[in-house]
């Protein structure tokens, strides 16, 4: 075993969350500058984790990191022995449980670290299925979108169980990402949509199909570079997500603040019921204005991302 450092980056879902669980497409963007780093090194005894969420022996790991524990056991069984001593240090700029792909980035970086430490190659496809081991423990039945985008260099068109497709993004604009400061509730939100689909099959199916249609329209608009139209589509998606009960008062409040501050569109991103929202605008000056308004009105943190992500 040798000492290695690996990384993976954050993501946001531009449009299509929740509907993607039911086979509709989603568009997700890699955020290459917001990263998680993992350092794995040999140790003479113990299996030690240092991270924001937990510091100590792997076997004492807390519930929030149960997925990581399962993943590490799988990796050690594959690559070495379950008792292999090591020290694993995780540092991250990606906020935890905010819909920015923190858990998937951690799973990817850990998987890459173990393979690199034991000097074994791993294909992209195997990397994603391995990272899914911890995502399944954390999220229940993830679509795989998080890990795929955390591992991607370009924006993705994602349909569950289909090959990933890069998507053209021909936009001169900016996304503002704002954190409500409240943990997202992806698992609960996904299960609420599942319940809704059982209780009100027709309206829920129609809402999910409409999200799929909006995602297809967004893809066309992205190619054409029509920022205003993309904003309108985002606003429509937010209304449907709200109808699916996955927004929250704080998300609704930030969406309204962004719209009043002149954003072309805004919506929650990811699982919802907390976590982050997105707003769209044309210039960096406007993006700074909107970000400022969002922070003044409850956002804990904001990020500004230029949309020419294909470069
Ligand atoms: O909250 P996040 O960023 O992990 O995104 C969840 C996206 C969902 O569509 C709600 C669920 C999924 O597995 O795709």
- Residues 63 and 206 reside in one and the same domain: no
Q: How far apart are CA 170 and CA 157, in angstroms?
A: 14
Poorest-pLDDT segment among 39-48, 49-58, 142-151, 217-226? 142-151
- For residue 142, the ligand 1 atom closest to its alpha carbon is 13
Among 21-30, 157-166, 208-217, the range scoring the smallest mean pLDDT is: 157-166
Q: Which of 103, 100, 25, 95 is nearest to 64 (CA)?
A: 103
Q: Which atom of ligand 1 is nearest to the CA of 100?
A: 3
Residue carrying the six token digits 């391995």: 130
Domain boundary among 115, 145, 165: 165
Report residue 184: phi and psi, to 5°.
-70, 160
Q: How far is the CA of 148 from the centre of ligand 1 (A)?
A: 12
38/18 same-domain check: yes
Residues 19 and 149 in one domain: yes
Q: Give me 272's structure tokens.
A: 């919802």
Atom of ligand 1 nearest to the CA of 12: 3
Question: d(Cα 52, Cα 257) in Å, to the nearest integer?
Answer: 31
Instruction: List pLDDT tens digits, range 116-174.
Output: 999 999 999 999 999 999 888 776 667 788 888 888 888 999 999 898 899 988 788 99
One domain for residues 283 and 189: yes
Cα 64 from Cα 249, distance rounded (Å): 25
Ligand 1 pocket member 99 (CB < 6 A): yes
pTM: 0.88
For 79, 173, 198, the CA distances from 230, given in Å and listed in that order, are: 46, 11, 31
| Cα 207 to Cα 215: distance, rounded to the nearest angstrom | 12
Model confidence pLDDT, tens digit, residues 57-108: 998 988 878 899 999 999 999 999 999 999 999 999 999 888 898 889 999 9
- Sign for the pseudo-dihedral over CA of 234, 236, 238, 241: negative
Q: What is the dihedral of CA 247, 251, 255, 257, to 10 degrees?
A: 150
CATH number, position 128: 3.30.230.10
Residues 291 and 188 in one domain: yes
Q: Are residues 192 and 292 in the same domain?
A: yes
Q: Are 23 and 112 in the same domain? A: yes
Q: Whats the size of the chain, residue-wise?
A: 311
Domain residues for 121? 4-165
Least confident residue range of 96-100, 206-210, 226-230, 281-285: 96-100
Q: Is residue 311 part of a domain?
A: no
Adjacent-strand bridge partners of 10: 31
Q: Looking at the domain assignment, is residue 22 inside a domain?
A: yes
| Separation of alpha carbons 264 and 233, rounded Å | 10
Question: Is there a single domain that holds both residue 18 and residue 120?
Answer: yes
Binding site membership of 68 for ligand 1 (Cβ less than 6 Å): no
Check which CATH number belongs to the domain holding 197 and give it.
3.30.70.890
Question: Are residue 120 and residue 241 in the same domain, yes or no?
Answer: no
- Total structural domains within the chain: 2
Mean pLDDT, residues 209-217 taken together: 98
21 lines ligand 1 (CB under 6 A): yes
- The last residue of a domain, from among 125, 149, 165: 165
- Answer yes or no: do 134 and 178 share one domain: no
């Amino acid at each position: 075993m040798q000492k290695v450092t690996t990384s993976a980056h954050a993501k946001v879902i531009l449009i299509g969350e929740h509907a993607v669980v039911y086979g509709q497409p989603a568009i997700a963007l890699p955020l290459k500058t917001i990263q998680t780093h993992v350092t794995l090194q040999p140790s003479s005894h113990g299996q030690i984790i240092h991270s924001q969420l937990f510091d100590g022996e792997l076997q004492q790991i807390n519930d929030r990191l149960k997925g990581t524990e399962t993943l590490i056991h799988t990796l050690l069984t594959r690559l070495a022995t379950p008792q292999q001593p090591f020290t694993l240090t995780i540092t991250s700029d990606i906020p935890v449980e905010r819909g920015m792909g923190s858990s998937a980035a951690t799973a990817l970086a850990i998987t890459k670290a173990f393979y690199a430490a034991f000097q074994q190659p791993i294909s992209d496809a195997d990397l994603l299925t391995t990272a899914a081991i911890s995502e399944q423990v954390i999220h229940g039945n993830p679509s795989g979108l998080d890990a795929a985008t955390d591992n991607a260099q370009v924006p993705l068109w994602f349909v569950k169980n289909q090959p990933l497709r890069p998507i053209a993004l021909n936009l001169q604009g900016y996304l503002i990402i704002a954190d409500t400061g409240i943990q997202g509730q992806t698992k609960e939100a996904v299960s609420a949509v599942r319940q809704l689909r059982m209780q009100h099959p027709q309206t829920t199916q129609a809402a999910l199909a409409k999200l799929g249609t909006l995602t297809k329209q967004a893809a066309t608009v992205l190619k054409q570079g029509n920022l205003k139209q993309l904003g309108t589509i985002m606003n429509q998606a937010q209304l449907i997500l709200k109808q699916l009960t996955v927004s929250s008062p704080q998300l609704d409040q930030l969406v309204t603040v962004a719209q009043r501050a002149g954003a072309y569109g805004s919506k929650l991103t990811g699982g919802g019921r907390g976590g982050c929202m997105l707003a769209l605008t044309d210039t960096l000056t406007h993006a700074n204005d909107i970000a400022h308004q969002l922070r003044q009105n409850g956002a804990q943190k904001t990020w500004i991302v230029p949309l020419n992500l294909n470069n």
